[in-house]
């Protein structure tokens, strides 16, 4: 049975008014089809397969066309709403008429299915628009995007995401911890909560006194009337904390993978050339004329950055051996300087932590400063060293993108490592304190002070540094101090690092300070308005465009590292080798009278039926680890195979796009040749049909 090949042509005035017959058109189309570059490129492979598989079969062009038609994507425009189609009004009306004709030709069931699909899409679109309209600060984000671009907006979007995440944490804390404590009460020997004579306002900054006895910290929650084997305050408390960490892990991993997929799709595999930057780089959400001028400067600076990177690549390729040796030696010395600065910062954190933990009775102001000495040291280190790293990277002769990435990596390591060093010193030195102190509350107070001081540093930086600097620039724009300070710019990476640092502190301290997510939500909302004031009132736009899409992956990856640090710290504090109930006689919170995480869960398992006990013990044993590892290996192997198949499909589609563009250029050339040939034939025919003109001889002159 012969295969038929269907050809679809674009209609034009020349094609509709052509004088060629249908047979000649079909012959010409078949001849042109055989001359397409894609057919010519695939012919050697088809000849090879034909020689291996024997003679016979259909023509190569027909077989390739049939394969393309069989593998072609299904047309989904017939089920999409008309307003979602990128067409003009006249084209949408024509599409609506075609749909009506198709509905009259198809059956009732298919017509009903298409109408229901269109209705569902319309309902989902309306629900999405309604939910997006309920998002807070939508208008503010639009204004910031119009004046400063998408990069600065990405910071505020990330901040809003952290607010939503902390609100989810507050809901879980209310359901698992605050709710049972409120309805079932506390233990009978618990002291009532009242403001004592020794309490003061400083307790709200230090986390001591009245605040130490309040629901803010771990020691407030004790066993109440809810005291069942598998439903009691310790298990609910532990379940709430683990649920918070697990949901945070799922949400952060999801956003990280989605961002990585977007970056991978728009990364090195698909190069953005200069024509794309010029013709597709405009942001149509800009409404302000100043924002439009800013966007033009962004595109100009992006092109300058592209040219700088190209010139840097050429300059790097032309380096001699001696220049490379001197450059590597300079980079080695600068990296030693960076390591020395990091070591000095870590020692400074250790010294401040030791001084704060062993401070004696002093005047209240000096005592307050000593209590906040570790947070002040960490904030000072995180504020100064990233700018020093930024200056150091400018001397290492890297490209601008590599300079930004090197500064970000060093700043990330600084922030997380400084917090990790502080937590290590805090957990190793707390055993030397008085055994009659609640160690969990003491650890929670340190996290509480870190959170409070981080917000105070943000407030002071905005209203005591940035705003007076802006007033000085407005009143004395030509002064020497104004020229030395320069214009303020909103550095998105460093500000996002501050957000990640605060969220990591919240995750680390949520077990010891259950209301820390609520405090974090309030401080994040206040931080949003402080940063909004700082950006709109005090800052000018950055000269070089910040690539928010590519750096968001790094931000969420750093957030994931902070979550891992919080989980490791919690696991280390819950189970410390060598720590037994006899070594620390005083206990507070849900786990009292020698109770620990392990014996509470063990009592719950022992109270279950026999089959449930066997199942739980098997899931917690080493025997379950082997099938779990095998299942993970199978799943990872399947995903790896799918990734390789998708990568091959992407390469094939890229080749098809390249050959399609070649076919289009070839067809345009053939069409132009046909038009020129037709015009020449018509000119010759008109010349032949015109009768010759006979000139009469002029009369002779007399």
For 41-91, write each residue's pLDDT tens digit: 665 555 554 544 444 444 444 443 444 433 344 444 555 667 667 677 888
Give the mean pLDDT of 612-633.
84
The answer to whether 185 and 194 have CB atoms below 8 angstroms apart is: no
* Distance, C-alpha 43 to centroid of its chain: 45
The Cα–Cα gap between 352 and 398 comes to 36
Q: How far apart are CA 339 and CA 53, in angstroms?
A: 66
pLDDT at 693: 56
**What letter would DSSP give residue 135?**
S
Place of tokens 């379950």: 624
Confidence check: pLDDT of 268 > 70? no
- Average pLDDT across the chain, whole number: 76
pLDDT above 80 for 218: yes
Given a cut of 60, whether residue 22 has pLDDT beyond it is no
Q: Which two tokens stand for residue 52?
A: 């291996």
Phi, psi torsion values for 423, nearest 5 degrees? -65, -35
Long-range contacts of the stretch 46-52 (C-beta < 8 A, 24+) = none
**Cα dihedral: 127, 131, 132, 133 (round 10):** 100
Which 3 state secondary structure label does DSSP give 128? helix
- pLDDT higher than 50, residue 138: yes
Integer angstrom CA distances of residue 591 from 238, 581, 605, 662: 10, 11, 17, 73
Q: Which residue has the higher pLDDT, 569 or 360?
A: 569
pLDDT of residue 14: 40
Which of 303-307, 513-517, 576-580 has the least mean pLDDT? 576-580
pLDDT at 173: 92
Helix (H) and strand (E) counts in the chain = 27, 0
Residue 16 binned pLDDT confidence (cut-offs 50, 70, 90): very low
Rg of the chain over Cα atoms, rounded to whole angstroms, equals: 36
Of 97-111, 360-374, 596-610, highest mean pLDDT: 596-610
Half-sphere exposure of 72 (CA within 13 A, CB side): 10
Residue 171 pLDDT greater than 90, yes or no: yes
Of 203-207, 237-241, 612-616, which one has max mean pLDDT? 237-241
Percent of the chain at pLDDT above 70?
73
Helix (H) or strand (E) holding 339: helix 321-357
What integer is the mean pLDDT of 506-515? 91
Enter the tokens of residue 441: 């509350």
| Higher pLDDT, residue 399 or 78 | 399
Question: For position 34, what pLDDT does the model report?
Answer: 62
pLDDT at 383 over 70: yes
Judged against a pLDDT cut of 90, whether residue 673 lies above it is answered with no
| Tokens linked to 656 | 């098809």
207: left (phi over 0), alpha (psi -120 to 50) or beta: left
CA separation for the pair 509, 515 (Å, rounded): 9
In angstroms, how far is the first alpha carbon of the chain from the final one?
88
Query: Which of the 8 DSSP states describes residue 85?
Result: S
Q: Which residue has the higher pLDDT, 650 or 455?
A: 455
Contact at 8 Å (CB) between 176 and 243? yes
pLDDT at res. 63: 41
- H or E stretch at 170: helix 150-173
- In which band, very low, low, confident or very high, does the pLDDT at 332 lie, cut at 50, 70 and 90? very high
pLDDT digits (tens, 9 = 90+) for 112-122: 887 787 778 77
Give the residue with greater pLDDT, 597 vs 89.
Answer: 89
């Amino acid at each position: 049975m012969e295969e038929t090949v269907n050809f679809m042509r674009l209609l034009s005035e020349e094609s509709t008014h052509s004088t060629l017959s249908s047979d000649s058109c079909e012959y010409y189309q078949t001849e042109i089809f055989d001359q397409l570059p894609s057919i010519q490129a695939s012919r050697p492979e088809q000849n090879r397969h034909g020689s291996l598989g024997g003679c016979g079969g259909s023509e190569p062009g027909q077989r390739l066309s049939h394969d393309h038609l069989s593998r072609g994507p299904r047309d989904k425009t017939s089920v999409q709403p008309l307003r979602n189609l990128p067409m003009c009004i006249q084209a949408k009306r024509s599409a609506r008429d075609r749909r009506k004709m198709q509905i009259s030709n198809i059956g009732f069931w298919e017509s009903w299915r298409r109408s229901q699909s269109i209705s569902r899409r319309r309902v989902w679109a309306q629900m999405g628009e309604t939910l997006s309209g309920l998002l807070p600060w939508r208008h503010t984000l639009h204004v910031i995007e119009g004046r400063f671009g998408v990069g600065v907006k990405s910071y505020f979007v990330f901040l809003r995401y952290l607010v939503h995440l902390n609100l989810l944490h507050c809901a879980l804390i209310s359901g698992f911890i605050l709710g049972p404590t409120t309805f079932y009460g506390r233990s009978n020997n618990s002291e009532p909560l009242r403001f004592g004579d020794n309490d003061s306002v400083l307790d709200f900054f230090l986390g001591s006194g009245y605040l130490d006895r309040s629901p803010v910290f771990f020691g407030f929650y004790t066993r109440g009337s809810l005291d069942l084997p598998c439903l009691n305050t310790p298990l609910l408390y532990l379940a709430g904390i683990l649920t918070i960490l697990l949901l945070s892990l799922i949400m952060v991993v999801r956003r990280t993978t989605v961002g990585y997929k977007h970056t991978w799709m728009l990364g090195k595999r698909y190069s953005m050339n200069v024509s794309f930057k010029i013709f597709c780089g405009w942001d149509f959400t800009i409404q302000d004329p100043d924002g439009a001028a800013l966007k033009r400067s962004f595109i100009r600076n992006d092109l300058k950055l592209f040219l700088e990177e190209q010139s840097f690549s050429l300059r790097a390729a032309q380096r001699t051996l001696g220049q490379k040796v001197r450059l590597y030696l300079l980079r080695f010395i600068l990296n030693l300087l960076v390591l020395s600065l990091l070591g000095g910062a870590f020692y400074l954190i250790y010294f401040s932590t030791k001084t704060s933990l062993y401070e004696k009775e002093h005047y209240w102001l000096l005592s307050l400063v000593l209590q906040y000495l570790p947070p002040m040291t960490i904030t000072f280190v995180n504020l100064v060293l990233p700018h020093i790293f930024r200056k150091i990277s400018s001397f290492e002769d890297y490209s601008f993108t590599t300079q930004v990435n090197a500064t970000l990596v060093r700043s990330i390591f600084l922030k997380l490592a400084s917090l990790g060093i502080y937590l290590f010193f805090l957990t190793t030195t707390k055993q030397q304190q008085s055994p009659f102190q609640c160690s969990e509350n003491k650890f929670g107070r340190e996290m509480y002070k870190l959170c409070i001081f981080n917000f105070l540093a943000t407030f002071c930086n905005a209203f005591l540094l940035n705003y007076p600097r802006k007033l000085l620039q407005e009143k004395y724009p030509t002064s020497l101090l104004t020229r030395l300070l320069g214009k303020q710019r909103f550095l998105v990476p460093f500000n996002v690092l501050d957000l990640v640092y605060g969220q990591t502190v919240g995750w680390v301290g949520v077990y010891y300070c259950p209301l820390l997510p609520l405090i974090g939500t309030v401080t994040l909302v206040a931080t949003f308005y402080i940063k909004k004031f700082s950006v709109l009132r005090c800052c000018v736009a950055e000269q070089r465009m910040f690539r928010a899409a590519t750096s968001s992956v790094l931000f969420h990856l750093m957030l994931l590292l902070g979550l891992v640090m919080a989980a490791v710290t919690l696991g280390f504090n819950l189970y410390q080798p060598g720590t037994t109930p006899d070594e620390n006689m005083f206990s507070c919170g849900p786990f009292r009278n020698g109770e620990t995480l392990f014996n509470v869960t063990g009592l719950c398992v022992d109270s279950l039926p026999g089959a449930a006990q066997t199942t739980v013990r098997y899931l917690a044993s080493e025997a379950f680890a082997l099938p779990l590892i095998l299942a993970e290996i199978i799943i990872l192997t399947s995903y790896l195979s799918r990734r390789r198949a998708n990568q091959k499909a992407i390469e094939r589609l890229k080749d098809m796009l390249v050959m399609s563009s070649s076919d289009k250029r070839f067809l345009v050339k053939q069409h132009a040749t046909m038009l020129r040939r037709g015009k020449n034939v018509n000119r010759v025919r008109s010349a032949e049909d015109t009768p010759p003109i006979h000139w009469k001889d002029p009369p002779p002159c007399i």
